[in-house]
Structure 1
Amino acid sequence: MTARRASAREFIALVADGFHELPHVERESRPDGPLGWPGYDASRERAARRTGESESVVCGVARVEGVRAVLIAFEFGFLGGSLGERTGDRLVAAYAYARQHRLPVVPLVATGGSRMQEGMLALTQLQRVAHESALTREAGLAQIAVLRDPTTGGGWATLGAGADVVLALPGAQVGFAGSRVRPPDADPAAYTAEAQLAAGAADAVVPVTELRDVLGRWLRLLTGGTPEAAGRPAEPAAPVPDALGARDLPRTGRDAVRRARAPERPRARAYLDAYFTDRLAISGDRCGGADPEGMLCGFGLHRGRTVAYAAQTGAATRPAGYRTAARLIRLAGRLGIPVLTLVDTPGAANDAAAERQGAGAAIADLFGAVATARTPLTTLVIGEGGSGGALALAAPGRTWATPDSYFSVIAPESAAAILKRPPQETDATADQLRLRPQDLAELGVIRTEQSHGTQDNRAHRP
């Protein structure tokens, strides 16, 4: 048995233990269904004999690496895993059970879409599913989808793409348009898990041999919060990371800029590795883009509790990076998880492609997400803090800086150019901008005291 051909119950056994199916009530159906579609009853009977199932989804509770979750597994062998009225009934019941018992939901999706033989009544099940998913999201419960082969149509556009975290199997067919309804000249590579990852619609492509472990880690991370939506207090703020680089403060503005730009200075990955004992990344802005080179986002374990992170890497941040960070902050807020942000960018990407991708709107969205965050944010400037493209990721009133960083309204070279100063006056301009950590502390832009729960952080106290 391969993952591609696995039945619903076989796939459940691949990722979980102790599966207990939820009870379901089958609605009465007229002969050959609500439309009287000739031969529909016979098709369902053949599907039932072939698969041993009475519908296209199997819903129940199981443990994934020790974490209890509601699993929704599609049986593709039953009429192509299509959604009909009875399918919708089972999905509604599964989501309601998850909310009642405060359990995360894990759809294991393999579907061709809505059931033709039930017409618009089948299509409207997508509205029911979307409603249940929204209620579950508002309840502060995580939804982690696993995309099997194929995941198309309304199943992809609701249970799949609508999940908080989207994992996909390698080579799985994933797309809104199924293989039989695409234009004849469509590139099949665009309808794959890998293409969805590149387009920012999926978070990771995970080999089936690693799926149980990865899914278990995600469930442990995302069930570690205490959501305000559930009437419980949010987790306290994340502690400030210890500085990893220089320990002495820069003498001049130019010295601060030089040290922040030094290739040997510790970057985001070094800070994340030192801070977290385990972490998993999310990827993509869910609207066509990803910025893996400029923004790292995800969730990790710090001293036994979950902290979300959004970290700039030292490169210019692209619009998709800002949108991904905003997505992360809002997800963390729903789940009651504190957020750590690491600022390190010369500024927002300013090329023509960035403008076409909505740079201004993306930065505005991140400013809004930070301003309205439902859980506390902690920010550490670890390198370059270039203008609004850096400030968008900074927590007002809860920002610290390392000794090998700077924060400025604009890079000193650009400031000199705007002021029509010759290049030899760049150093003096850097001093006038007062961008050193000690200047920022004196101006009240950054904090100097230790964060609650941290160890000795004198390395980044100006």
Structure 2
Amino acid sequence: MREGFGEENRERPGAPARRSARAVLAAVAETYTELPWPEQEDGEPDDGPLGWRGYGAARRSAAERTGESESVVCAVADIGGVPVVALCFEFGFLGGSIGRRTGDLIEAAHRHARAVRLPVVTFVATGGSRMQEGLLALSQLQRVARQSALTRAAGLPQLAVLRDPTTGGGWATLGAGADMVVALPGAQVAFAGSRVRPSDADPAAYTAEAQFAAGHVDAVVPARELPAALALRLRLLTSPRATAPVPPPDALGTTDLPRTGWDAVTRARAPGRPRADAYLDAYFTVRAEISGDRCGGRDPGMSCGFGLHDGHTVAFAAQRGTATRPAGYRTAARLIRLADRLGFPVLTLVDTPGAANDAEAERAGAGAAIADLFAAVASARVPLTTLVIGEGGSGGALALAAPGNTWATPDSYFSVIAPELAAAILKRPPSAARATADELGVRPQDLVDLGVLRGVVAARGRGPAPEG
């Protein structure tokens, strides 16, 4: 049934094409079957609950033009071999606006998803709540939010695809409230619609790309790539769950243990040492990332998402060797809580000199973000596994570590503080950093002896070292 998304949106050059709901479903789904309409109460006036003059005629005209009876089409669809409940907005029906009847349909679709245990995928294209129904229309957002919350509590994943436009309550509930959010390039994505923004507002701030940069969207995906992108994410979020902790990755770098503490530090800081991307590529056959903390920030130094390992989905949060920023910690906490709710084990990779300590990091809530990650790790019901693959700098590294199930590679170190900083605090000269590293006991084998680490992993084929 797949078809293309069509030509560019002529109303706003550069924006994605505004396709009908059924054209969108046909483009991404192998097959789909529309869900039956819920029963409707009798007695509503033709012009709606407010008696808005011409409202009935406008609805009839919209139905004739689009072939739909409301602004959303709800169906059971097959996307990449995964059955889902799909909610697809019809922008041609009164701008995809949300009214009471729209709320009926969305509620019925979520109820069906929970009854048959299917994920929910929402293709959003809406200008917001329907003015002709007044506050009754606006109150549908509470109803929609409750249904989404119930589906979330049932442990079912929710994905959102942001089309053009995604504004108002549709963005603030079904869009931004989804577990994973992808957007079409150039789509308007904002709470404020184009006609209610300040006259001097920068249009670029109200786009999918801007929302991605601010940490509110996980990926911006071209229309031609959308079917594959959705299929991958749905495959990952519906694959079998492992109930035991996953094994740590094999070591990819140096295999012999460091002789001194300073040797461990210099190895971990070596530019050519394998980094998180290499470990993730070796561990997972496929993976998809989430991006951003949903609070206005992204940290390229923290990679989070889901991947397939030995046929099972594993969530991952990996530091990439830079000082971790507050947005990175919040994104990792978001990932761990999502994995916990969906029942997936978690792998974390530690590699940071420490938490970012500049003024901007403090203003962004470094302490609160680290505390939130500690809490997410401590309260997780799913098993966590950690591998230290490089620098393990202080609490900024420990926040991502699994208590009782943390391993290390031979070219890593873990320390209460960097040796140079420890020497400075102790009022020692910079030249004392080497000796201080030995005193701190930062080598992987030292930490195994202390009982802080479970073991040191070996290269592929040799397996983890025995527990220390």
* TM-score scaled by length of structure 1: 0.96
Partner residue, 1:181: 196
8 Å Cα contact 1:193-1:202 kept in structure 2: yes
- Match among 171, 187, 196 for residue 211 of structure 2: 196
Q: Which of 32, 41, 44 is matched with 1:27 structurally?
A: 41
**Aligned with 1:271 (options 273, 279, 285):** 279
Once the two structures are TM-superposed, the CA of residue 31 in structure 1 deviates from its matched residue by: 2.6
The amino acid across from 2:205 in the alignment is: A
Deviation, 1:15, is 0.5
CA distance in structure 2 between the partners assigned to 1:173 and 1:188 by the alignment:
9
SS at match of 1:180: coil
How far does residue 315 in structure 1 lie from its aligned partner after superposition?
0.4
Does residue 328 (structure 1) correspond to residue 335 (structure 2)? The answer is: yes
Quick one: structure 1 residues 272 and 325, their matched pair in 2 at CA, closer, same or farther if it must change by over 3 Å? Answer: same
Aligned residue type for 2:230 = L
Gaps of 5+ in 2: 1-5, 8-15
Deviation at 1:298, TM superposition (A): 0.5
Alpha-carbon distance between aligned partners in 2 of 1:432 and 1:320, rounded to the nearest angstrom: 33
Q: In structure 2, what residue type is equivalent to 1:250?
A: P
Aligned twin of 1:154: 169
Letter in 2 for 1:253: G
Distance 2:466 2:218 in 1: 33
1:290-312 Cα deviation digits (max 9, x unpaired)? 001x1000100001110000000
Match of 2:116 among 93, 101, 117: 101
- What's the CA shift for 1:448? 2.1
- In 1: Cα distance, 2:254 partner to 2:365 partner: 36
The answer to whether 1:287 aligns with 2:302 is no
In 1, Cα distance between equivalents of 2:326 and 2:109? 37
Q: Residue 172 of structure 1 corresponds to which residue in structure 2? A: 187
Distance 1:433 1:225 in 2: 42
Deviations 1:307-361 (A, max 9, x none): 0000000000000000000000000011110000000000000000000100000
User: What is residue 127 of structure 1 aligned with on the other side?
Assistant: 142
**How far does the alpha carbon of each residue in 1:211-230 deviate from its partner, in whole angstroms, 9 at most, with x for none?**
0001000001011255xxxx
Q: Please identify, of 18-27 and 79-88, the stretch whose mean Cα deviation from structure 2 is larger.
A: 18-27
Q: Give me the whole-angstrom Cα distance separating, in 2, the residues matched to 1:333 and 1:277.
A: 22
Aligned runs of 1:40-439 on 2, under 5 Å?
Answer: 40-226=55-241, 235-292=243-300, 294-439=301-446
Which residue identity does 1:377 align to in structure 2?
L
Alignment check: 8 A CA contact 1:382 1:401 kept: yes
Runs of 4 or more, structure 1, over 3 Å off, are 458-462
Paired letter, 1:447: R
User: Once structures 1 and 2 are overlaid, which stretch shifts more, 209-218 or 21-30?
Assistant: 21-30
- Contact between 1:111 and 1:151, CA under 8 Å: does it hold in 2? yes
**Distance of 2:150 and 2:462 partners within structure 1:** 43
Q: Taking structure 1 as reference, are residues 327 and 455 closer, same or farther at Cα in structure 2, changes over 3 Å only?
A: farther
Q: C-alpha distance in 2, partners of 1:457/1:4?
A: 52
Instruction: Specify whether residues 397 and 423 from structure 1 end up closer, same or farther in structure 2 by C-alpha distance, changes over 3 A only.
Output: same
Is the contact between residue 86 and residue 120 of structure 2 (CA under 8 Å) also seen in structure 1? Answer: yes
What are the Cα deviations for residues 79-138 of structure 1, in whole angstroms up to 9, with x where unaligned?
A: 000000000000000000000000000000000000000000000000001000001001
Give the RMSD, CA atoms, in angstroms: 1.5
* Alignment-mate amino acid for residue 428 of structure 1: A
1:444 alignment partner in structure 2: 451
- Following the alignment from structure 2 to structure 1, what is the Cα–Cα distance between the partners of residues 20 and 250? 49
Deviation of 1:237 (Å): 1.3
Partner secondary structure for residue 190 of structure 1: helix
Residue type matched to 2:341 in 1?
A: R
Residue 230 of structure 1 corresponds to: none
Q: Structure 2 CA distance, aligned partners of 1:144 and 1:235?
A: 24
Partner SS, residue 289 of structure 1: coil
C-alpha separation in 1, matches of 2:248 and 2:78: 34
Residue 460 and residue 6 in structure 1: after superposition, are their counterparts in 2 closer, same or farther (change >3 A)? farther
Structure 1 position 4 matched with structure 2 position 11: no
Match of 2:13 in 1: none
CA distance in 1, matches of 2:407, 2:327: 25
Distance in 2 (alpha carbons) for counterparts of 1:311 and 1:450? 17
Please state how far the C-alpha of 1:30 moved relative to its aligned partner.
1.6
Deviations 1:174-218 (A, max 9, x none): 000000000101111000000000000000000000000010000
- SS in structure 1 opposite 2:36? coil
Alpha-carbon distance between aligned partners in 2 of 1:243 and 1:223, rounded to the nearest angstrom: 29
Q: Give the conservation status (yes or no) of the 8 Å contact 2:408–2:457.
A: no
DSSP 3-state at the match of 2:78 = strand
> TM-score normalized by structure 2?
0.95
Whole-angstrom CA distance in 1 between matches of 2:215 and 2:49: 38
C-alpha separation between the residues in 2 aligned to 1:391 and 1:65? 39
Measured in 2, the distance between the counterparts of 1:460 and 1:200 equals 41
Mapped contact 2:184–2:220 kept (Cα < 8 A): yes
* Paired residue type of 1:202: V
**Cα pair 1:403 1:460 within 8 Å, conserved:** no
The percent of aligned pairs where both chains have the same amino acid is: 72
CA contact (8 A) 1:224 1:337 kept: no
How many Å separate the matches in 2 of 1:191 and 1:265? 40
SS of the counterpart of 1:148?
A: strand
Confirm or deny: 8 A CA contact 2:251 2:457 kept in the other structure. no
1:33-55 superposed Cα distances (whole Å, 9 cap, x missing partner): 00111110000000000000000
Number of aligned residues:
452
Alpha-carbon distance between aligned partners in 2 of 1:207 and 1:455, rounded to the nearest angstrom: 40
Match of 1:140, SS state, is coil
Q: Which amino acid aligns with 2:18?
A: R
Task: Name the amino acid aligned to 2:26.
Answer: A
